[in-house]
Amino acid sequence: MNPLHHRLAAGLALIALLLAGCERGPLPAQGPQYAAGPARGNGVVYRLAVHPLHNPQKLTEAYQPLVDYLNRNIEGARFALEASRDYQAYEAKFRAREPALLLANPWQTLEAMKAGYGVIAMAGDAEDFKGIFIVRRDSPIKTAVDLKGKTVSCPSPTALAACIMPQQFLHDHGLDINKDTRNLYVGSQESSIMNVYLRRVDAGASWPPPWRAFQKDHPNEAAELKVIWETPHLINNSVMVRNDLPAALRARVQQLLLGLSAQPEGQAILAGMETRRFHPADDAAYEPVRSFIRRFEQEVRPVEQQ
C-alpha cells in the first residue's frame, strides 16, 4: 500500500471509531454490554452503570480498570461495568432501578435520587465540571453571536456540562438556541468533537476530560482544533448506590474510591478516567444543581425534549 492509501485507510478507521457513539448497528462482544437493561448472570452481580460520556471502546478502556479494582478488593461481591447505548437508555435504566451503582452527571443525579439512589462520592474536581466550546483553528467564530445561523454539536440534550451549560452560556450571551442555532445531538463526547474536525458543525460542545483524552489519543486531529470558550463550573459527576445495597458494601466501595488517589495503582486508574480524585459527597451537595436546572428550564428549554 502506498503512503497516500495508508493515510487514507488510517483516517477512515479513526472516523469510524469516533463516530461509533452514534451508530445503531451490532456491537462488539468485548467490553460493556449495550442493551435496554443489565445483562443477567449466575449469582449477584453489582453493575456499575456509567453514563455514556465516551464511545464504547473508550468507556471500557477508561472504567474497566476501576471495576477490576473493586473486584480485587471487595470479598464476597462481584462487580461489572454496564454501558448504555445513549443518554436516554441510561436514564431509563436507573429510573427502573436496574443498576446497583451509578456514575451519573449532576442532572441525572437529581433524577436518580427520585428512584432511590444516594450519593457516596463526587468523581473529579468541581472546577473540572464545565462546558467548553471547540472550533477549528481556522474558524472565523470569535464571539457567541457569530454562531447565529450556525450548527453546534452536543452529545445529548441531557448532557449537563457538554450541552445544558453551553446552551445556557449562549443564552446569557444573547443567542436564542431554539431559533438562532441548529442544535445537533450526536450521541457521545468524541462525536461532538469529531464533528468539528470533519467540518460538519461550526462549533462543538464538550467538557474537559473527553477533550484531554481526545488530545492524547488523536494529537494530529486535536492540533487542528481549539477551545474558544468555557462556561462557569458546577459540582462534578456523582457516584451513587441503590438504597437496597448492604450498608457495609456501600461503605467499602466509598472507602476504596476515596483512597484511590493515595496510592500508585489508584492513581493509574484515575489517570485513565481523566479524573484527579474522588471527593466525599452526599445528596445535599447537589442542591445547587437544582437551582441551575430550574433557571435553565425557565430561560432556555426543558431538559428532556420530546
Q: What is the pLDDT of residue 23?
A: 36
Q: What are the C-alpha distances in Å from 87 to residues 37, 84, 94, 197, 199?
A: 13, 7, 11, 23, 24
Domain endpoint, select from 206, 232, 258 = 232
Split into its structural domains, the chain has a count of: 2
Whole-number Å distance between alpha carbons of 68 and 267 = 14
Is 17 within a domain? no
Residue with the three cell numbers 485507510: 9
The pTM of the full predicted model, rounded to 2 decimals, is: 0.83
Is 16 within a domain? no
- For the segment 47-71, what is each residue's pLDDT rounded down to a tens digit? 999 998 887 788 899 999 999 999 9
Let me know: does 32 contact 215? Beta carbons within 8 Å: no
Q: What is the pLDDT of residue 230?
A: 98
Q: What is the pLDDT along the chain (306 residues), one digit of tens a residue?
A: 444 344 434 444 444 444 444 433 333 334 454 444 444 434 589 999 999 888 778 889 999 999 999 999 999 999 999 989 889 999 999 999 999 999 999 999 999 999 999 999 999 999 999 999 999 999 999 999 999 999 999 999 999 999 999 999 999 999 999 999 999 999 889 999 999 999 999 999 999 999 999 999 999 999 999 999 999 999 999 999 999 999 999 999 999 999 999 999 999 999 999 999 999 999 999 999 999 999 999 999 999 975
Nearest to 27 by CA among 50, 59, 53, 49: 59
Nearest to 206 by CA among 134, 273, 270, 101: 134
Residues 67 and 104 grouped into a single domain: yes
Let me know: does 196 contact 153? Beta carbons within 8 Å: yes
Is 70 within a domain? yes
- 151 by Cβ neighbours in 10 Å (0-12 / 13-18 / 19+) ranks as middle
First to last CA, the chain: 49
Nearest to 265 by CA among 78, 133, 72: 72
Residues 223 and 95 grouped into a single domain: no
Residues 109 and 183 grouped into a single domain: no
Residues 189 and 243 grouped into a single domain: no
What's the alpha-carbon Rg for the chain, to the nearest Å? 19
Whole-number Å distance between alpha carbons of 182 and 178 = 8
Let me know: does 49 contact 94? Beta carbons within 8 Å: yes
Domain endpoint, select from 214, 232, 250 = 232
Residues 200 and 253 grouped into a single domain: no
Whole-number Å distance between alpha carbons of 268 and 253 = 18
Q: What is the pLDDT of residue 43?
A: 59
Q: What is the pLDDT of residue 22?
A: 40
Find the domain containing 161 and state its range.
130-232
Residues 109 and 250 grouped into a single domain: yes
Domain endpoint, select from 183, 217, 232 = 232
Nearest to 242 by CA among 106, 48, 36: 48
Residues 101 and 246 grouped into a single domain: yes
Nearest to 158 by CA among 90, 102, 210: 90
Q: What is the pLDDT of residue 240?
A: 99
The upper half-sphere exposure of residue 105, i.e. CA atoms within 13 Å in the direction of its Cβ, equals 26
- 267 by Cβ neighbours in 10 Å (0-12 / 13-18 / 19+) ranks as middle
Read off the CATH number of the domain in which 78 is found. 3.40.190.10
Residues 119 and 256 grouped into a single domain: yes
Q: Which three cell numbers stand for residue 32?
A: 460493556
Percent of the chain topping pLDDT 90: 80
Residues 141 and 268 grouped into a single domain: no
Residues 137 and 225 grouped into a single domain: yes
Residue with the three cell numbers 471527593: 279
Residue 156 in 3-state DSSP?
A: coil
Residues 123 and 246 grouped into a single domain: yes
Angle at 216 between CA 162 and CA 25, to 5 degrees: 60
Residues 112 and 248 grouped into a single domain: yes
Is 169 within a domain? yes
